Amino acid sequence: MSNYLEITHMEKEFPFRAFLNDGLTITYPHFHKEIEIIHTKSGKVNIGVGQDLIELAEGETYLFSSGVPHYFLTSPDSERYVFQFDLLMFDEVNLRQAGEPTLFDLFENGEPLSRNWPASFAKKITELLMALYQTQEAAPIGARFRMEALLHLFVAECYQFLPPKKEETAITQPAAVKYQETLDQLNLVFDLIENHYQDSLTLEDVANAVGFSSYYFTRFFKKNTGQTFSQFLTDYRVNQAKCILAAEKIPMVEVAEKAGFASVKTFHHVFKENVGVSPLKYQKNILEG
């Protein structure tokens, strides 16, 4: 499966964001230059880092350094906080002292899993993360000053107390082999979608390619992605259309064709139903924004 470069949508002037995801929100293998932190609010969250599967328990934190491929599997009855920020928001040239590692090296070589951190450090990081999230949500006067201060405190704590990375950070679950088999099968599906979304791709085509009956594949795909195959393919095509609309000024019939829709009428209806505005209105908003 390809590791997709994710372009995070953050304001250039203040490249930080935080949000809450439920366990049915899955993310496919991707990477980005921003630091990402996951904190489990409730339940257990299954995350993938490279070829390893890690189960984050409630209250645990995982820190992804810049460029690390990762993904999320369906984790029913769970919620997770997601924090992302660009290291460029820190004045590293003037703030970093002689002998201190760069910010990139700090997070690249630091232990990412909080169960391997000193308890006092893990507690402090949790407090800072919750303060960041609450400040963003409440948006009081001076919110950005407070959030920037909290982020600087976070970095300072990491400089002082983040332990070096353990050789075996990932905790392999008893079902890891089964998960790997599932991921390999999903690989085939995602590759087919990526390479053939512009074609008339049917559930039967994909089921045959994976070696499943249509009935079994329907259940398998819904269980592991939280969506039906049709929903997933539609979302993929809509996202492709968004990219085209943001980058190219071409007739809507060509946008529809490039995104894999059978007709411009179907494209218009599906896009508006999923995005809330027509393709033309969406493009206008993007260009004006």
Confidence category of residue 171, pLDDT binned at 50, 70, 90:
very low
- According to the model, what pLDDT value does residue 168 have? 56
Per-residue model confidence (pLDDT) at position 9: 64
| pLDDT at residue number 6 | 54
Average pLDDT rounded to a whole number, residues 153-163: 98
**Is the CB of residue 260 less than 8 Å from the CB of residue 237?**
yes
The amino acid at residue 24 is L
Q: Is 93 helix (H, G, I), strand (E, B) or coil?
A: helix
CB 70 within 8 A of CB 47: yes
pLDDT at 107 over 90: yes
Among 33-37, 157-161, 269-273, the range scoring the smallest mean pLDDT is 33-37
Report CA dihedral (64, 68, 74, 75) to the nearest 10 degrees.
-20
Give me the mean pLDDT over the 69-94 stretch.
Answer: 90
What value does the mean pLDDT take over residues 96-108?
93
* 114 vs 174, residue with greater confidence: 114
The whole-number average pLDDT for the span 29-51 is 87
Kindly report, residue by residue over 13-34, the tens digit of the pLDDT: 899 999 999 988 777 777 778 8
Three-state DSSP class for residue 15: coil
pLDDT for position 206 = 93
Highest mean pLDDT among 46-55, 74-83, 152-161, 239-248: 152-161
Environment class of residue 128 by beta-carbon count within 10 Å: exposed (0-12), middle (13-18) or buried (19+)?
middle
pLDDT: which is higher, 169 or 253: 253
pLDDT reported for residue 183: 62
Q: What is the tens place of the pLDDT at every residue in 239-254?
A: 889 889 988 889 999 9
**C-alpha–C-alpha distance, residues 30 and 194, integer Å:** 14
Domains belonging to the chain, first-starting first, are: 4-161 (2.60.120.10), 197-288 (1.10.10.60)
Q: Is the pLDDT of residue 186 over 80?
A: no
234 or 23: which leads in pLDDT: 234
User: What pLDDT sits at residue 3?
Assistant: 47
